[in-house]
Chains A and B, each alone.
Chain A
Amino acid sequence: DAKTTQPPSMDCAEGRAANLPCNHSTISGNEYVYWYRQIHSQGPQYIIHGLKNNETNEMASLIITEDRKSSTLILPHATLRDTAVYYCIVRVTNAGNMLTFGGGTRLMVKP
């Protein structure tokens, strides 16, 4: 799986959009971008994934650049409960095998 690079930490004001970047310049054509988050003392939680088109679900939006070398996870109206570590993972879907987590971005949502 391709390697990802994320900033170690970010702050966001409550109610504002949180934009979390991820660099995956070595991504290959059959690799998807997945995002998970881990709230303190809990297991990781799946958020969203995409291949090349932008994706949106009830939790977040995923914007993938045209060259697929980077992506941004957007939480449109961050709340205090969104404070967590966010992991960007690149993997071949349908493989069903392990997830390779990097260091992630620690997002702190402040009142």
Chain B
Amino acid sequence: DTGVSQDPRHKITKRGQNVTFRCDPISEHNRLYWYRQTLGQGPEFLTYFQNEAQLEKSRLLSDRFSAERPKGSFSTLEIQRTEQGDSAMYLCASSRVQGQGLNEQYFGPGTRLTVT
């Protein structure tokens, strides 16, 4: 257990429905990241926050995806009008970026989304 938690762990939804995932990072970590991983592939970066500010978004993050981190603590990732291609593991990670220090990312267990 890295201290990063994600909820739910599994989600099955029908095509066209909206889904929302939650990530709770390690409490003193100021950066929070979202990745997506499809079967047999490495994780792919989606977006990240420093405190409450969303600093970077991947081209993978279509306009159906939105992420928030309203108070600089937990984050939510919402997918609207889900498509079968959205089926994947959604991973959250957090890190503490401070000066010149090490900033390895700690990952949560992921939320596995299946769109039927």
Contacts and interface: CB of A to CB of B under 8 A. Distances in A.
Interface of B: 2, 4, 31, 33, 35, 41-45, 48, 50, 55-56, 58, 91, 93, 95, 97, 99-110
A97 B46 CA distance: 11
A100 B46 CA distance: 11
17 contacts: A42-B109, A43-B91, A43-B93, A43-B108, A43-B110, A44-B105, A44-B107, A45-B107, A46-B104, A46-B106, A94-B99, A94-B100, A97-B48, A98-B58, A99-B35, A99-B43, A101-B43
A104 B107 contact: no
The SS class assigned to the B binding surface is loop
B103 A99 contact: no
A96 B35 CA distance: 15
A56 B91 CA distance: 28
Given A99-B43, A101-B42, A103-B41, A49 B97 contact: no
A93 B105 CA distance: 11
A93 B103 contact: yes
A93 B100 CA distance: 8
The SS class assigned to the A binding surface is loop
A102 interface: yes
Interface of A: 34, 41-46, 49, 85, 87, 93-94, 96-104
Contacts of A44: 43, 91, 93, 105, 107
B106 A98 contact: no
B109 A34 contact: no
